Amino acid sequence: MNDTKNFFFFLLFLAMIGWGGSWVNVKVLSSYVSPFELVFVRFLITSISMIPLLLYLKKSFKIDLKTLGLVIIAALLMLAYMKYFVLGTKLGTASLGGAFVTTLIPINTFLILVIFFKRPMSKKDGFALLLGALGVMSILGVWHLSSEQIFTKYNLYFILASLLWPLLTIVSSKSTKVSPLVFTFYMYVATTVLDLFLIDISAIETRHWDSVFWGNMIFLSLVATTFSTSVYFVGIEKLGSKEVSSFIFLVPFSAIGLSAIFLGETISLWMIVGTVMSIIAVALLNNIIKIRKKI
């Protein structure tokens, strides 16, 4: 039992590295394709790769009408999220996006639950939100920047992304009749199909898709999406959501570290301090947020 548990811990560690690495992949790929072209290629590869996985895990592909409606809504939110995720990363840095968005998402999720779903908020939660706000401001470096530098386009894109993901998570959590992995598969398929209305396939320039492009696209599609998402959900089934969710705190640090290694981005002390503060805040709020995560 301990060997199996340790093996899953190792796989979860790799999965979080994969999620963190996706910010580096998107930064590189954004110079090759538009946001919606990236979405199409990524989720087409991911959708195809998930079919043998679901067959191996003996998951049922059956889906009811209500779940299909939730899938379509989730796919639309995914398209919007990916647009701002890609644009923010293209204009800004992968390290900033990885630290800023991944720590702000659970904080925004909690706020949405409090405001729109009447979740109670204790003094501890209020302290956590204050700590999180200070952490996010530290990540952005507001203490030594002008208002023009703070409210740049890419920061606004990151904020929009961090607001869209909680909505996607809440919609996804309403699906209770199918496996989370199956729901995610159909969401990726629906995202790919809907994306066809936003791009002109015949106009996509593929002649510049070199080994760098395909290396990053394959990592983004198969490792950061298929592998990491599958390990996360199988881990929840095997170990429980409480143990697995703690691994998510590795994502911003892996995004920061990989951005420094592969992109040569400068990581400030304020970004590290702010990320730690935000993660502590999320940990304090973690017992409130019981929604399944979708990536």
Give the pair of three-digit tokens for residue 199: 């791009």
pTM: 0.89
Compute CA distances 27 → 44, 105, 166, 188, 255, whole Å: 19, 20, 22, 21, 11
Q: Round to whole Å and give the CA distance between 194 and 248.
A: 29
pLDDT in tens, 229-243: 999 888 877 777 666
Give the pair of three-digit tokens for residue 151: 């409210």
The number of beta carbons lying within 10 Å of the beta carbon of residue 172 is 22
Q: Position 155: which residue type?
A: N
Q: Nearest-CA neighbor of 16 among 255, 267, 179?
A: 255
pLDDT in tens, 75-127: 999 999 999 999 999 999 999 999 999 989 888 888 888 888 888 888 888 89
CB–CB of 119/113 below 8 Å?
Answer: yes
Q: Round to whole Å and give the CA distance between 173 and 254.
A: 26
Give the pair of three-digit tokens for residue 160: 């929009």
Q: 214 pLDDT exceeds 90?
A: yes
